[in-house]
Amino acid sequence: MTKKAQTPETDILVESKGKIETFFDKFGSKVMWGIVAVTVIAVGIFIWSNYSDSKQEQINLDAEAKFIATQNEYPFGFTTHYTEAAEAYLAIANEYEEAAINPICYFVAASSYLQAYSTSLDVADLENAKAAIAKFTKVEGEYGKHINAMALTLKGDIAVEEKDYATAANHFESALAASTNSDIYGMNAVKLGLTYEAQGKDAEAQEVYKKAVEEYPALDAKMKTYIK
């Protein structure tokens, strides 16, 4: 892996990285599990969509059927066979390159690889996660807003694992802008705030936490842990 360029805040990062690494050890690689239901709903949305091209419709239906079968074999968020799960979802994407379910396959594959990395610390898993999420393309529709935001979150988590906090912050900022769900927004606000703190930007972190409460008052209890 190419070594990341050091920022002017290098000394601060060395002193404070323990806090953010502890957070991400506990929550960073597992953030995707909160949208298991959303992922399942997405499959239903794709299945019941109307396609004008009968051939394309069949491709979509075949891919979705395999996605459901794979999800039954490797339940998203409940399996421990992370690498096998990732490879299974990638196989669907490779077999059905034009299928509407493809972005979801890449997203789940990347998340599974990141989970594998969190348990194995094998850099190959991290690189595979990065490669998989790079192939993710935006999903249209109301559901798409959620999955698109979570894809940005995943990119941020990968950057954190690479100790590239500046890039991580950029992804979390983009995820906040893309979020229309209070839970997803709150999760990204905490991640962004902690990433700022790891760079010594405590004032910016506090602004993020307070803005989260302004945007979604229901997040008040969650943010009290971080607001000073």
Per-residue HEC secondary structure of 117-143 comes to: HHHHCCHHHHHHHHHHHHCCCCCCHHH
Confidence of residue 77 (pLDDT cuts 50, 70, 90): low
With the C-alpha atoms ordered 70, 86, 74, 138, is the resulting torsion angle positive or negative? Answer: negative
Q: Which tens digit of pLDDT belongs to each residue from 164-221?
A: 999 999 999 999 999 888 888 998 999 999 999 988 999 999 999 999 999 999 999 9
pLDDT value for 53: 66
The CB density around residue 90, as the number of other CB atoms within 10 Å, is 21
In sequence order, what DSSP letters do the residues of 207-225 get, joined into one string? HHHHHHHHH-GGGHHHHTT
Distance from C-alpha of 73 to C-alpha of 39, rounded to nearest angstrom: 15
| Inter-residue contact 174 to 189 (CB < 8 Å) | no
pLDDT value at 21 more than 50: no
Distance from C-alpha of 122 to C-alpha of 184, rounded to nearest angstrom: 28
35-44, 115-124, 125-134, 176-185: lowest mean pLDDT where?
Answer: 35-44
pLDDT value for 127: 96
pLDDT value at 120 more than 90: no
Distance from C-alpha of 101 to C-alpha of 67, rounded to nearest angstrom: 8
**Rounded mean pLDDT, 92-119:** 90
